[in-house]
Amino acid sequence: MGRLFLISLEGSFYSCKYCETHFALSDDIISKSFHCRHGRAYLFDKVVNVTEGEEEERLMITGLHTVVDIFCIGCGSIVGWKYEFAHEKNQKYKEGKFILERFKVSGPDGSNYFAAQELQVSESDADDA
């Protein structure tokens, strides 16, 4: 297990829906328009209290990316992924950034979201599979 970081209660934050471990501040969201296999996902500049899995290549709607899955240090649940390398020049802005899958986190207002609530698909990033 990694070291647990607590996010200041003065700001609004996202946390694990299973164990309430803090992940990220609302101020660190880069985009709310990403999608994954299970629905909406958010792109963050910084995320804490996660461990990283093994690097792998994934073909997504926006091209080939080298990513690592990220896991909650509190309960071990997979909560998203981190972009290590973008093979397409116009996707380089994602490198070093994190995706949190919306249905696996509690929002700043304490609400939980479920994949069935978000069936709309946009032109955002998602696994092609």
Indicate the SS3 state at residue 84: strand
Identify whether 71 is part of a domain: yes
**What's the total number of domains in the chain?**
1
CATH code for position 56: 2.170.150.20
Identify whether 114 is part of a domain: no
Distance CA 90, CA 88 (A): 6
Asked if 56 and 70 count as a contact pair (C-beta separation under 8 A), the reply is no
Identify whether 96 is part of a domain: yes
Identify whether 61 is part of a domain: yes
Give bridge partners of residue 127 from the DSSP assignment: 60
Give the distance, in angstroms, between the CA of residue 121 and the centroid of all CA atoms in the same chain: 17
Identify whether 64 is part of a domain: yes
Identify whether 4 is part of a domain: no
Q: Looking at the whole model, is its pTM more than 0.85? A: no
What pLDDT digit, counting tens, does each position of 73-100 carry? 999 999 999 999 999 999 999 999 999 9
Identify whether 3 is part of a domain: no
CB count, 10 Å around CB of 124?
17
